[in-house]
Structure 1
Amino acid sequence: MKAQNYKNHRKFYPPHHFIYLPILILLEIYGIYKIWDDTEHQLTWILFSIVIFLLFYLAFMTRQHYALGLQNRIIKLEFKQRYFEISGQRSDEITDKLRFDQIAALRFAYDDEFKELLYRAIHENISGDEIKRSIKNWRADQERV
């Protein structure tokens, strides 16, 4: 992966930005035009409208993909903040040693268990599922998307 800088920091999801949305716009414009222009083939244009709807649905589901990606990023940031609050140290070295499933699982542990489970995650490489199973006092995450 190239080093990020100002010129390449924007991220596009090509199927969404360069395929789905342009197709949706073109189909919508063409479909609206043909509905009024070709009344003999209204059934065809109704079916065409269904295709447009399905493409809109696909675009909507792509947006959910973005939301989940953002949520994962927020979980990582919450971990870094929490680690700093508990230890008083930056978490860069620690987060490099953990997988996302471990970071996500640690958010369910209260502070007293957090340290022990973090140690085990780093030194014993226990999975996120094992971390969750080891938690004695569950800290609920009610805001998960």
Structure 2
Amino acid sequence: MESQNYKNHRKFYAPHHFVFLPLLFVLEGIGIYKAFNDEQNQLSWILFSVVIFLIFYLAIMLRQHYALVLQNRIVRLEFRQRYFEIFGLRSDDAEEKLSFGQIAALRFTYDDEFKILLEKSIKENMKGDEIKRSITKWRADQNRV
């Protein structure tokens, strides 16, 4: 694999960036053009344009979904790192007993309360919202999208 540098550090997904999205733009342009210039089939071209627009919208929203999934992975990684820093152990056992909602809620705690609420949430199977309500000193997370 080629080593990364400034010239090659950008990442493009060729099917998405250079085929799928440009094709949607072209098809949308054709649909709009035909809707105004083909009176005989105008309704069909309007429908065609609407469908293409919806596919384009879905493609954009799918990118947002990917970002949120990645962000959730990062929250899990932060939990593992924090658990290791506090307890000096791997978090596998604790993580298996927690839902993502619980893990996400625990990120709002400071270390001393993290220990208490972690143990309590495992024993009592507290929901994420219950964990958040139990926090006495809130640790803000300004980086979540």
Cα separation, partners in 2 of 1:87 and 1:30, compared to 1, 3 Å: closer
Deviates more, 1:115-124 or 1:53-62: 53-62
Match for residue 118 of structure 1? 118
Q: Partner amino acid for 2:79?
A: F
Alignment partner of 1:55 is 2:55: yes
Say which SS state the counterpart of residue 74 (structure 1) adopts.
helix
Alignment of 1:99 onto 2:99: yes
1:128 lines up with 2:142 in the alignment = no
Give the Å deviation of 1:94: 1.1
- Cα deviation, residue 26, structure 1: 7.2
Per the normalisation by structure 2, the TM-score is 0.71
Alpha-carbon distance change, 61 to 33 in structure 1, aligned in 2, over 3 angstroms:
closer
Residue ranges of structure 2 left out of the alignment (5+ in a row): 1-14
Provide the residue aligned with 2:144 in structure 1: 144
Q: Given the superposition, is the C-alpha separation of residues 128 and 49 from structure 1 closer, same or farther in structure 2, using an over 3 Å criterion?
A: same
Q: Distance in 1 between matches of 2:101 and 2:28?
A: 46
Change in Cα spacing, 1:111 to 1:43, as seen in structure 2 (3 Å) is same
Deviates more, 1:54-63 or 1:105-114: 54-63
Query: Cα distance 1:94–1:60, how it changes in 2: closer, same or farther (>3 A)?
Result: same
Matches within 5 A, 1:1-145: 25=23, 28-29=26-27, 32=30, 35=33, 39-41=37-39, 43-44=42-43, 45=45, 47-145=47-145
Kindly state the Cα deviation for residue 96 of structure 1 after the two structures are TM-superposed.
Answer: 0.7
| Contact 2:120-2:126 within 8 A present in 1 as well | yes
Number of aligned positions between the proteins:
125
1:35 positional shift = 4.3
Q: Secondary structure at the match of 2:125?
A: coil
Greater relative CO, 1 or 2 (CA 8 Å, sep 6+): 1
Query: 1:123 and 1:30, CA in 2 relative to 1: closer, same or farther beyond 3 A?
Result: closer
% same residue: 62
User: Retained in 1: the 8 A contact 2:24–2:56?
Assistant: no
Aligned partners of 2:126 and 2:48: how far apart in 1?
52
Aligned partners of 2:28 and 2:52 also within 8 Å: no
The amino acid across from 2:49 in the alignment is S
RMSD, aligned α-carbons: 3.1
TM-aligned CA distance change 1:34 to 1:82, over 3 Å:
closer
